[in-house]
Amino acid sequence: MLSASEDPAPAVSVIIPCRNEAGWIEKCLEGVLQFQSPPGGFEVIVVDGASDDGTREIVARIAAQDRRVRLVDNPQRTTPHALNLGILAARGETIVRVDAHTEYAPDYLVQCLAVKHETGADNVGGPALTRCHSYLHRAIAAAYHSRFAVGGALFHQATYEGPVDTVPYGCYSRARLLELGLFDERLVRNQDDELNLRLARAGGTIWQSPRIRSWYSPRASLAGLFRQYWQYGYWKVPVIQKHGRPASLRHLVPGAFAGGLTVMAPLALFSPLVAGLLAVVLAAYLVLLLAGSALTAARAGWKLLPVLPAVFPCYHLGYGLGFLFGLWDFALCRRTAGRFVALTRGSVASRQRQGASG
């Protein structure tokens, strides 16, 4: 019998970065191993960031039962390191990233390959669909699909097909990833957005198709949502520094809003003019907040209306304040991001506990 390394190279390598995902990884692998197999087959590479909750043992047990599964160590623990280790270990010509907290349609792989072949795109993916399990969870997901929360990002639109600036997860040619220089390992968050920005600036195409279906489980608490978007805003700053511009102007709006409030709030104590301007800004935001909440509730269910006005500010202010702290750390003080890496890693364990209790 051939060993795993002597088996014919598969057509596709599925990469799953993880750390402390004992509550999710078995279900994730069960789903992935039931994917419809494309011609040439596929392998599954789980890149584990020194888990200490039993994740490695679960993966090792499944790998012993299914030769398609391999476990790779990620001593650096962060997602971009995991992705790069997985790509370098991959034997397939096509790389498909999978997230442990996401459910995928059985035809996910074959649709990725079909859309990639039909469009000639360098990266393909589907819209960011959601599945929820509680009242607040449903409200957070409803806001996630609202233009008022995300500024019209196309990957939040379930039926859109066409070119986009990014897609969730992604399906790439391994050779193209190597040509681009892989993921930027300095970016604990937003490494996929940054890679797609590099890809687009190199003349590549990112394509979204509703035929590629997956269902993401968003944060289930307001605190978790705020922390998540704080991280996104924070790590957007080094991406902009690296490229000299954002992928989209919508990435600057929350930071400008939070910055304006931060400047005006203390000045309003001494200047009636600034106090009046601050009142106008807050009143305008309140009107937009109530209108956005009503429009979202009309689409997703009126029962969500009471909590939506609390959900949207977590998106806006979380991202905006994170962006401001990123400006302070990266642009003004030129600090390393070690303290925030620790926060980001801690949030992984926090989310795992949250999922296990949900």
What confidence tens digit (pLDDT) does each residue in 113-162 have? 999 999 999 999 998 888 888 899 999 999 988 888 877 667 667 788 99
Q: How far apart are CA 239 and CA 340, in angstroms?
A: 16
Q: What is the pLDDT of residue 111?
A: 97
Q: Which residues of the chain have pLDDT under 70?
A: 1-6, 152-153, 155-156, 246-247, 333-358
Q: What is the pLDDT of residue 335?
A: 63
Q: What is the pLDDT of residue 342?
A: 46
Q: What is the pLDDT of residue 345?
A: 41
Structure tokens at 296: 């979202």
Q: What is the pLDDT of residue 39?
A: 93
SS (H, E, C) the chain: CCCHHHCCCCCEEEEEEECCCCCCHHHHHHHHHCCCCCCCCEEEEEEECCCCCCHHHHHHHHHHHCCCEEEEECCCCCHHHHHHHHHHHCCCCEEEECCCCEEECCCHHHHHHHHHHHHCCCEEECCCEECCCCHHHHHHHHHHCCHHHHCCCHHHCCCCCEECCCCCCCEEEHHHHHHHCCCCCCCCCCHHHHHHHHHHHCCCCEEECCCCCEEECCCCCHHHHHHHHHHHHHHHHHHHHHHCCCCCHHHCHHHHHHHHHHHHHHHCCCCHHHHHHHHHHHHHHHHHHHHHHHHHHHHHCHHHCCCHHHHHHHHHHHHHHHHHHHHHHHHHCCCCCHHHHHHHHHHHHHHHHHHHHC
Q: What is the pLDDT of residue 356?
A: 36
Q: How far apart are CA 292 and CA 161, in angstroms?
A: 25
Q: What is the pLDDT of residue 264?
A: 95
Structure tokens at 329: 């750390």
Q: What is the pLDDT of residue 247?
A: 63
* Stated pTM of the model: 0.82
Domains of the chain: 4-218 (3.90.550.10), 229-357 (no CATH)
